[in-house]
Amino acid sequence: MNNPNYLITGCAGFIGFHLSRRLLDKGDTIVGIDNLNNYYDPKLKKDRLAILLGYPNFTFYKINIANRKKMAEFFSSNVKSNHLAPKTQGLGQPKSFDYVIHLAAQAGVRYSLVNPYAYIESNIDGFLNILEGCRKIKPKHLVFASSSAVYGANTKLPFSVYDNVDHPVSLYAATKKANELMAHTYAHLYGLPCTGLRFFTVYGPWGRPDMALFLFTRAILENKSIDIYNYGDMQRDFTYIDDIVEGIVRITHKTPEPIKKDDNIDPSKSHAPYRLYNIGNNNPVELMRLIEIIEENLDKKANKNKLPMQPGDVKATYADIDDLFHDVGFKPATPIEEGVKRFVTWYKQYY
């Protein structure tokens, strides 16, 4: 049996890079899309991409997923390459993909308060372009990134895919909820198998510079103070990147089946080929404990600047992953102590 081919959007992003490398190492073929924007340091994205371009089974297109014309061209039989490096190519690549994994998005809760239009452009318009492309090429499965942010004002812990998520507290969360609804519509109308993955605070080597672990590590090493919101009274279900990737790989190869017409549906499944899963460590960590672990690994104390809760933030996240374990036999399990140690090792090497 031939190795499958994938389209991965956001391939130069944190999760997209790790997922691509994992699949490339096992011999699969990947076409990657990324716009390499400057939401955070483009050099980090380009360095990730340079590693991927070292694989003969990887092809890259520099495209903004919100560009309707270019995305339509990409998915059409007349797809044209948009070269970033000599290694990229286009015309010889498959126009149809076995699997589409959509990770490209405008991320970040706090930035959505500053630049809301970026979230509509990338997360709504961009996702519609992906759905329209998939409607035409008919992959076996579209897997897309949602977020624990969709749980918003929910207070019942752990967060379950069976819970109502109609009270987002940031525009970022609202766009991710919208993605879930849009995907369900296409699953229902066109029989497009879709699965949404609600990621919980992903961290690890090559991580995003706007995330707490990265920000804290950099500030402590530079003798700068760190901002601690809600005066430190916060919990996050920190999930190590390798666990996220393992979950994505397993879910991708489990195409969702519609439930029977006479069965009651719940928010996580449907009479259409559609499913939702949480991928989290199922073990929330106090923010102050995270800081202690960073300090231990750096052998250096942080200067703490305690501040009130920020608009759009939530006090705690905690994933119920029973469905993930039941359906694909996997539970994230990397301890925060081990994950932070690996991140700090990478950070010191990279910088």
Q: At what angle do helices 126-137 and 68-75 cross, to 10 degrees?
A: 20
Residue 189 DSSP SS3 = helix
- Give DSSP secondary structure letters for 299-331: T---EEEE-PPPTT--SB--B--HHHHHHH---
Q: How do strand 141-147 and strand 194-199 relate by DSSP bridges?
A: parallel
**Count of CB atoms within 10 A of residue 82's CB?**
17
Q: Which residues are catalytic?
A: 172
State the DSSP H helix or E strand holding residue 60, giving kind and residue range, or none if neither.
Answer: strand 58-62
Other CB atoms within 10 A of residue 194 CB:
30
CA distance 240 to 230: 24
Could you tell me which of 177, 180, 92 has the C-alpha nearest to residue 143? 180
Helix, strand or coil, per DSSP, at residue 333: coil
Report residue 154 as tokens. Answer: 């929910």
Residue 20's contacts (CB-CB under 8 Å, 6 or more residues apart) are 8, 11, 30, 32, 52, 58
Residue 155 buriedness (CB in 10 A; 0-12 / 13-18 / 19+): exposed
| Type of residue at 189 | L
